[in-house]
């Protein structure tokens, strides 16, 4: 059973060529502070599938715009550069899977569910926080994709340990790999040039080696807390899992307490996540 070293796995996954052309070019373009809306639109339009999905998601209940967005130019102006970048990345992420069987389907649905939950949870924290949380939620398990792509037998063994031996995912990954998916995902997005905040959310979303109070940047701390909570909302709802986990008390989680979310609000957010995931998940397929 082949297990790559942490460094080799990051090197392979971090190659920008693994990304679709449009996502790669968009990441390069937004690093230029003088980039124009016309340039961004011309890049996205090179992939009509991505362009169509960006418009569909722009008009979905996730964004709740008062007016219909009918063009990419309008989408960029109304939603802003940061949002458009997160949308392009969101519709591109699925293409990173080399195969798409039942395991990959569950992983993808969990990522979409976590993105939806993260956006709902962060709704009261400002527009910047909503996009940071959405991207973090969508990409929080990015490391798992690359572990599955590059070492499928080892990843399969990890999944078997989780489901058959009832091991925690972090414990199971350490047992098989000697490292964990948050490390891989965070390192890869740093190589891609995404925001340090996104990398920090990915690195700490399990709170496996840190406390929320120790994260000095307030937006980053809220982002980590939001994605940690969203991850557990999906577990409770069974989004990306074989069965729902009713044993988790969401409002008692450290992330819920850190964000000041009480029991009633938490129950409402979980219900909204389930409804919105069911109605909007097809937009990402």
C-alpha to C-alpha distance for 61 and 283, rounded to whole angstroms: 11
Whole-number pLDDT of residue 231: 97
Whole-number pLDDT of residue 44: 87
Whole-number pLDDT of residue 136: 92
C-alpha to C-alpha distance for 68 and 59, rounded to whole angstroms: 6
End-to-end Cα, the chain, rounded Å: 32
Per-residue pLDDT of the chain (285 residues; tens, 9 = 90+): 678 899 999 998 888 777 778 888 887 787 777 888 888 889 888 888 888 888 888 888 888 888 898 998 898 888 887 788 778 877 788 888 888 999 999 999 999 999 999 999 999 888 778 888 998 999 999 999 999 999 999 999 999 999 888 899 999 999 999 999 999 999 999 988 888 899 999 999 999 988 999 998 998 999 999 999 999 999 999 999 989 999 999 999 999 999 999 999 999 999 999 999 998 888 777
Where do the structural domains in the chain lie, given as residue ranges?
Answer: 6-15+93-284
CATH entry 1.10.3210.10 includes domain 6-15+93-284: yes
What value, to the nearest 5°, has the Cα angle with vertex 233 and ends 143 and 245? 95
C-alpha to C-alpha distance for 164 and 142, rounded to whole angstroms: 23
Q: Exposed, middle or buried: residue 44 (CB in 10 Å: 0-12, 13-18, 19+)?
A: buried
Q: How far is CA 195 from the centre of its chain?
A: 13
């Amino acid at each position: 059973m082949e297990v790559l070293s942490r460094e080799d796995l990051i090197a392979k996954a971090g190659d920008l060529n693994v990304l679709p052309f449009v996502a790669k070019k968009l990441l390069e373009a937004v690093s230029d502070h003088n980039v124009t809306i016309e340039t961004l639109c011309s890049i996205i339009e090179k992939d009509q599938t991505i362009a169509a999905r960006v418009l569909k998601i722009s008009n979905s209940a996730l964004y709740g715009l008062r007016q219909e967005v009918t063009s990419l130019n309008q989408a960029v102006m109304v939603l802003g550069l940061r949002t458009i970048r997160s949308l392009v990345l969101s519709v591109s992420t699925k293409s990173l899977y080399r195969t798409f069987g039942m395991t990959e389907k569950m992983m993808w649905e969990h990522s979409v569910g976590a993105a939806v939950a993260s956006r709902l949870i962060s709704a009261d924290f400002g527009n910047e926080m909503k996009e940071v949380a959405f991207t973090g939620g969508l990409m929080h398990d990015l490391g798992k994709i690359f572990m599955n792509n590059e070492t499928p037998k080892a990843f399969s063994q990890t999944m078997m340990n989780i489901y058959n031996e009832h091991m925690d995912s972090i414990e199971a990954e350490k047992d098989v790999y000697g490292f964990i998916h948050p490390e891989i995902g965070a390192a890869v997005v740093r190589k891609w040039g995404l925001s340090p905040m996104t990398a920090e959310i990915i690195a700490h979303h399990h709170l496996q080696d840190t406390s929320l109070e120790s994260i000095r940047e307030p937006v980053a701390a809220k982002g980590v807390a939001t994605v940690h909570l969203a991850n557990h909302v999906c577990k409770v709802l069974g989004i990306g899992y074989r069965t729902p986990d009713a044993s988790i008390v969401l409002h008692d989680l450290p992330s819920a307490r850190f964000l000041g979310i009480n029991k009633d609000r938490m129950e409402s957010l979980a219900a909204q996540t389930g409804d919105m995931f069911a109605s909007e998940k097809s937009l990402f397929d």
